[in-house]
């Protein structure tokens, strides 16, 4: 065998070793499509797998996660939003391709836009002021996601120039945008400096929002907002014999719950070696066996407390209180400034927002409360809808959790997070007998 042939065979071997093996089977389970992913283990790969599934609007009904040495294996039982198996060949093909290429960087889909990252003190009317400033500076908001938590706000806003329709790259103009937005974000009693930066990273939008809020240390803050009736219960213990830290989470089941938790663990430099997740009715119980990237468990009580606070914050950020309002209308400059101004004038506070455009149509979702964080008066909601247009702004129910049937005819019905109905006693028993897992529940 000549040198060139050896080189080609070696490259083929490396490709096979670094390319995940994906099997999608519709015959094994009568109620769901089974997705199996085997691959060489690397930091963050579990998050990438979950991200692909949730971005495809798939509901994960059952799954387990396990790794052995340098390899990992995940098995997910998934359905579409109608709780049916996947039968569309194009969807299955796209999923295979996406999962098979998770080791490689993929485009984010926001090419040609300028990405602004904003952090500041949350208050009623803040979003209205931000959108008003951008409209005044001839910036058109194409897409955006806004989260609030513990008195802080984080936003990732994609803009373009109103006149040219192109990306804003002029440094002086970007500086002008920053100078106008910083005082708005700071507020009157900001104990931290407000921030506005132009994002240069290629990161999943919701993962980036988690990173922004974590860097802002929102998990440490206390708030005067109403307490939730069912706050998440998070505990951490060390399993000394196996050098694992065991993270247990019990909370209300909701969309993208598994994504939010794994995202936070990954960005905190923890590796998930094994995991089990169970749901009953609308409650979720999750168990993770984690270590630092250097293979060590959590080393102190202070670190355990930081993990507990961070996971609790990751769960709460997306669990937005308030009425869900959906806006669908022809897009025009200043639309968002006009709509959010009417919210502010009627005492409505936006706790979360998802802004998107498709062609010349604006498709926006807002979660609103009253000024103190309590449910808004229905009469106030009706008054705002009359001002904006009853056929344009509609009240929608909150996104359903995965084990309930989603309404496919509702725009923005939501993407169910990776939640599970049952792992099955056989899987748990095998992992326990191998000494790979141990229950602390």
User: Along the 441 residues of the chain, how does pLDDT read in single tens digits?
Assistant: 565 555 555 454 444 556 789 999 999 989 889 999 998 888 889 999 999 998 988 877 777 899 877 888 998 888 887 879 999 999 999 999 999 888 665 555 677 899 999 999 899 999 999 999 999 999 999 999 999 999 899 999 999 999 888 899 889 999 999 999 988 998 666 656 688 899 877 789 999 999 999 999 999 877 666 666 789 999 999 999 999 999 999 999 887 889 999 999 999 999 999 998 887 778 888 999 999 999 999 999 999 999 999 999 999 999 888 999 999 999 999 999 999 999 999 999 999 999 999 989 999 999 999 999 999 999 999 999 999 999 999 998 644 443 343 333 333 333 233 323 333 333 343 344 334 444 433
Q: 270-280 and 233-239 as β-strands: parallel, antiparallel, unpaired?
A: unpaired
| CA atoms of 328 and 42, how far apart (whole Å) | 42
Tokens standing for residue 202: 């290629």
Report the SS3 class of residue 424.
coil
Contact assessment for residue 257 and residue 315, using Cβ atoms and an 8 Å cutoff: yes
pLDDT in the model for residue 107: 55
pLDDT at 409: 38
Helices 171-186 and 126-136: crossing angle in degrees, nearest 10, is: 160
Contact 99, 49 (CB under 8 A): yes
Closest CA to 323 of 383, 256, 373, 260: 373
Contact 143, 199 (CB under 8 A): no
What is the predicted pLDDT for the residue at 83? 78
Nearest to 99 by CA among 76, 71, 67: 76
Domains and CATH numbers, the chain: 114-223+320-396 (3.30.70.260)
Residue 11: CB atoms within 10 Å: 10
Report which secondary-structure segment, H or E, holds 73. strand 71-79
Structure tokens belonging to residue 58? 């798939």
Q: What are the helix (H) ranges across 346-438?
A: 378-388, 425-433
Residue 320: per-residue pLDDT: 80
| CA distance linking residue 314 with residue 68, whole number of Å | 28
Q: How far apart are CA 234 and CA 86, in angstroms?
A: 34
Q: Are 291 and 271 spatial neighbours (Cβ–Cβ below 8 Å)?
A: yes
Q: In 10 A of CB 355, how many CB atoms?
A: 23
What's the pLDDT at 380?
Answer: 96
Q: What stretches of 115-227 show up as alpha helix (H) in DSSP?
A: 126-136, 171-186, 205-215
Task: Determine contact, residues 409/326, Cβ cutoff 8 Å.
Answer: no
Q: Which two tokens stand for residue 8?
A: 């080609």
Helix or strand (DSSP H, E) at 5? helix 3-18
Strand ranges across the sheet with 59-68? 21-25, 33-40, 71-79, 59-68, 270-280, 283-292, 244-252, 233-239
Query: H or E element: which one contains 257?
Result: helix 257-267
Helix (H, G, I), strand (E, B) or coil at 69: coil
pLDDT at 190: 61
């Amino acid at each position: 065998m000549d040198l060139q042939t050896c080189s080609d065979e070696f490259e083929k071997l490396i490709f096979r070793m670094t390319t995940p093996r994906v099997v999608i089977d519709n015959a094994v389970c009568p109620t769901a499509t089974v997705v199996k992913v085997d691959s060489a283990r690397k930091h963050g790969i579990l998050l990438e797998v979950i991200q692909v599934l949730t971005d495809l609007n798939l509901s994960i009904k059952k799954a387990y996660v396990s790794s052995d040495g340098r390899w990992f294996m995940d098995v997910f039982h998934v359905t579409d939003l109608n709780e049916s198996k996947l039968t569309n060949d194009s969807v299955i093909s796209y999923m295979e391709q996406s999962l098979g290429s998770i080791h490689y960087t993929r485009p984010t889909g926001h090419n040609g836009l300028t990405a602004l990252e904003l952090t500041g003190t949350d208050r009623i009317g803040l979003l209205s002021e931000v959108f008003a400033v951008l409209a005044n500076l001839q910036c058109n908001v194409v897409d955006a996601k806004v989260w609030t938590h513990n008195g802080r706000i984080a936003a990732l806003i994609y803009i373009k120039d109103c006149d040219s329709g192109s990306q804003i790259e002029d440094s002086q103009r970007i500086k002008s945008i920053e100078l106008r937005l910083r005082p708005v974000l700071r507020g009157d009693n900001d104990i931290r400096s407000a921030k506005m930066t132009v994002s240069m990273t290629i990161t999943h939008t919701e993962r980036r929002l988690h990173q922004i809020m974590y860097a802002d240390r929102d998990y440490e803050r206390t708030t005067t907002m109403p307490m939730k009736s069912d706050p998440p219960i998070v505990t951490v213990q060390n399993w000394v014999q196996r050098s694992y830290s065991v993270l247990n989470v019990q909370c209300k089941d909701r969309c993208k719950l598994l994504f939010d938790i794994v995202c936070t663990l990954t960005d905190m430099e923890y590796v998930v070696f094994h995991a089990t997740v169970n749901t009953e009715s609308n409650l979720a119980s999750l168990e993770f066996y984690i270590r630092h990237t250097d293979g060590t468990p959590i080393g102190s009580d202070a670190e355990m407390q930081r993990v507990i606070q961070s996971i609790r914050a990751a769960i709460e950020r997306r669990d937005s209180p308030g009425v869900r309002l959906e806006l669908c209308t022809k897009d025009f400059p200043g639309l968002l400034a006009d709509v959010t101004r009417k919210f502010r004038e009627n005492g409505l506070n936006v706790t979360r927002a998802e802004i998107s455009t498709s062609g010349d149509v604006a498709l926006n979702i807002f979660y609103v409360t009253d000024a103190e964080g309590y449910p808004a008066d229905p009469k106030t909601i009706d008054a705002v809808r009359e001002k904006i247009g009853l056929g344009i702004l509609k009240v929608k129910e909150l996104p359903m959790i995965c084990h309930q049937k989603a309404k496919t005819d509702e725009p923005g019905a939501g993407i169910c997070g990776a939640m599970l109905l049952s792992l099955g006693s056989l899987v748990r028993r095998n992992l326990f007998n191998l000494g790979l897992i141990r229950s602390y529940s």
